[in-house]
């Protein structure tokens, strides 16, 4: 847990578990660090604020901080680990998510032993209904040890207090993660192709059809395939993401016919969003 000088308003919070007494420190749009009671701070548009603390650069570590371009917001979101980048991909593909931010708020509270504690959730996501998700992105379910497991009680209580949710997002299965990375390479709108191509794809894949066969029916695969992958990213076309994606993968424009439920298996994005599936890559 990270230390921070608290205001006098910080009260004992962890023991009650109801979110009362928790405060929030964040950077305003003007660049000022400010601190408010959590129930007041929850009205802040955290998706629009800068990180309250930077991701460290650790000498010798193979992975350092980077930037994820969000198709949801059209802006970059910083990430500090491969696990966090993967969860950004999952949330960015969720149609219920309207905003994303990294480390936008620090939660502060006084523990039962009287010491001030703080925690900075790694991710924030805004949903279309206005509610929010605070999340951490461990590389494995046990990452962070007992301290992380104990600390989760406070953000859980804080989020429940304002009808939000807090989650430690579990890494998706390797095949799903690989397929998401592939489709994410086509997430930019420039890959959707010229006007009329989306309608042509919907017609070509009106029923279950092999990916390469449907693309060839529309036009030159070199020009059509990027639009197919973009449509798979956006959910206009669907296919199982828990199986390798290849030229014979069955694709359909009707989500109900191609099945669903992978979002539940992923356990990501706060349990909201379309079912997701996956595959081996053709380019």
pLDDT of res. 113: 83
Cα separation, 83 vs 96, in Å, equals 21
Strands 76-79 vs 209-210: parallel, antiparallel or unpaired: unpaired
Cα separation, 265 vs 250, in Å, equals 20
Reduced to 3 states, what is the DSSP secondary structure of residue 282?
coil
Structure tokens belonging to residue 165: 């949710």
Positive or negative CA dihedral for 122, 265, 231, 132? negative
Cα separation, 233 vs 227, in Å, equals 10
Residues 158 and 117: beta-carbon distance below 8 Å: no
Series of mean pLDDT values for 10-residue runs along the chain (283 residues): 43 49 93 94 95 85 86 96 95 97 95 88 97 92 68 89 95 95 97 95 96 96 96 95 94 61 37 36 36
- Predicted TM-score (pTM) of the model is 0.81
pLDDT of res. 283: 34
């Amino acid at each position: 847990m990270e230390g921070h000088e608290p205001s006098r308003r910080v009260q004992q919070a962890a023991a009650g578990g109801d979110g009362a007494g928790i405060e929030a420190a964040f950077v305003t749009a003007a660049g000022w660090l400010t601190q408010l009671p959590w129930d007041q701070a929850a009205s802040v548009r955290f998706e629009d604020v800068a990180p309250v603390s930077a991701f460290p650069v650790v000498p010798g570590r193979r992975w350092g901080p980077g930037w994820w371009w969000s198709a949801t917001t059209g802006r970059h979101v910083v990430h500090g680990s491969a696990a966090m980048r993967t969860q950004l991909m999952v949330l960015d593909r969720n149609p219920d998510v309207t905003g994303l931010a990294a480390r936008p708020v620090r939660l502060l509270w006084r523990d039962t032993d009287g010491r001030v504690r703080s925690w900075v959730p790694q991710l924030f996501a805004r949903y279309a209904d206005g509610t929010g998700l605070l999340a951490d992105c461990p590389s494995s379910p046990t990452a962070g040890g007992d301290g992380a497991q104990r600390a989760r009680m406070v953000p859980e209580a804080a989020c429940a207090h304002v009808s939000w949710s807090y989650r430690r997002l579990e890494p998706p299965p390797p095949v799903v993660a690989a397929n998401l990375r592939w489709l994410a390479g086509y997430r930019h709108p420039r890959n959707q192709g010229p006007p009329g191509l989306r309608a042509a794809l919907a017609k070509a894949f009106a029923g279950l059809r092999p990916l390469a066969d449907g693309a060839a029916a529309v036009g030159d695969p070199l020009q059509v395939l990027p639009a197919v992958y973009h449509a798979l990213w956006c959910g206009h076309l669907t296919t199982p993401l828990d199986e390798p994606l290849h030229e014979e993968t069955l694709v359909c424009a009707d989500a109900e016919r191609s099945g669903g439920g992978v979002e539940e298996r992923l356990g990501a994005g706060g349990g909201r969003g379309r079912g997701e599936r996956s595959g081996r890559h053709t380019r």
